[in-house]
Amino acid sequence: MTIDEAPRDVLRGGPRELLRWVATGAAVSRADLSRLSGLSPSTVSQRVEALINQGLLEETGAGRSRGGRRPRQLAVPTGGAVVGAIDLGAHHARVGTLDLSGRVVQGRTLPVRIEDGPEQVLGALLAEVAALAAPSSASTASGVASPSTGSTTADGAAGALRGLGIGIPGPVQHATGRIVSPSRMPGWNGFDVAAFCAGRVDVPVIVDNDANLMALGAHRTAHSELDHAVYIKAGTGIGSGVISSGRLHRGAQGAAGDISHCRVVADPAPPCTCGNAGCLEAVASGAALVTALRDQGIPVSDLTGVIRLIDDGDRHATALARQAGRAIGEILAVVVNFFNPQVVAIGGRLADCEPLLASMRATLYERCLPLATQTLLIERVATGQDIGITGAAHLVIDHVVAAHS
């Protein structure tokens, strides 16, 4: 099952935003919501009633009166609805439950062997989501923050699961939720992730590309006031997500923003997992940097080793990082000239790699139209391992609210 992101009116003064204001404490009454949204009291009442009927809001008693009848207070039910989210990577997956404001209730990082195939990998991750959403989960783990697993637990109990969002590190056909020709996911081609998961959890399941979900999470948390944004995810692989007119832009099939296999100038052009040569992913991704260093006789086992070498000032690793930044900048320059975003933000593990970022930034200024870069923000996506599951949760929350609006 795949679902479109909520229409804009659902976000601006719509039920989704009314819910968020109550969940974050910005509003405790219908009058507050009317003031914040600029909507008439009757429209607010109508929307609040719909949210109450769906169990997404509740009335908690009478608030303070300013003369006249005391207003009934609103709250998001404690221990109420949560959404499950999975952000799958090549070697790790971030799994969590989030409340209806998009706040992480619980999060956990698990090691993953993507080559074990979809049934085994997804089966284990679904079991983890179920465990996090189980009523006893929050009380037993309350207050725990384990650096080894990146576990986080916020105050509040786990509640009924209302939906599940999953990010996949490969192309996802939006209409079907199927994975189509992923370059680094052996055994996953054509797999119907949504159907597999929907058969195991009795809630709506939304599947999307991981860069799209990072884009949505970053936009909602850091740039919601901006209408046009491009987010690059640079980790083991490389991809991007596009926000256009305030909404995630997927294009006709869901492939919009996938810059992984755009060709860049490279001599020699390294072979790519897609069968072509000289793709951005074969030059500038974390996996490409590992391969290039090994080819130079430098033993690195993974991206962590590469980042350590760059941090230590190793000249081979640093030169490769600069080359990667230039390659990303060249592709992004085309995107920026064509699309004219207000912000370009880079996330993923390579985003903290200063030589790569500096080189990308310099190339963008060199290759873009002055008008396109005049007010362009170029920055890192706000750090945080939860940005992907946050995007996944927002997609689900939009659906849960929109479906009942």
Query: Applying CB under 5 A, does 184 fall inside the site for Zn ion?
Result: no
Token pair listed for 388: 């992907």
Interactions with Zn ion, residue window 58-87 (CB under 5 A): none
- Residue 17 CB, nearest approach to Zn ion (Å): 40
Contact 190/178 with Cβ under 8 angstroms?
yes
**How many residues at the interface with Zn ion, by CB under 5 A?**
5
Interactions with Zn ion, residue window 229-268 (CB under 5 A): 261
- Residue 214 CB, nearest approach to Zn ion (Å): 20
List the one residue from 272, 293, 331, 346 that touches Zn ion (CB under 5 A): 272
Query: Applying CB under 5 A, does 154 fall inside the site for Zn ion?
Result: no
Q: Please state whether beta strands 229-234 and 343-347 pair in parallel, antiparallel, or not at all (unpaired).
A: parallel
- Residue 47 CB, nearest approach to Zn ion (Å): 47
- Residue 252 CB, nearest approach to Zn ion (Å): 21
Query: Applying CB under 5 A, does 28 fall inside the site for Zn ion?
Result: no
Scanning 170-178, 279-287, 288-296, 307-315 for contacts with Zn ion by CB under 5 A, the matching segment is 279-287
Query: Applying CB under 5 A, does 287 fall inside the site for Zn ion?
Result: no
Query: Applying CB under 5 A, does 277 fall inside the site for Zn ion?
Result: no
Contact 121/164 with Cβ under 8 angstroms?
no
Q: CA of 339: how far to CAs of 204, 228, 229, 281, in Å?
A: 33, 8, 9, 21
CB atoms within 10 A of CB 374: 8
Nearer to Zn ion, 50 or 269 (CB): 269
- Residue 364 CB, nearest approach to Zn ion (Å): 22
Residue 386: name the closest of 107, 185, 187, 129 by CA.
Answer: 107
- Residue 122 CB, nearest approach to Zn ion (Å): 25
Q: Which residues bind Zn ion (CB under 5 A)?
A: 261, 272, 274, 276, 279
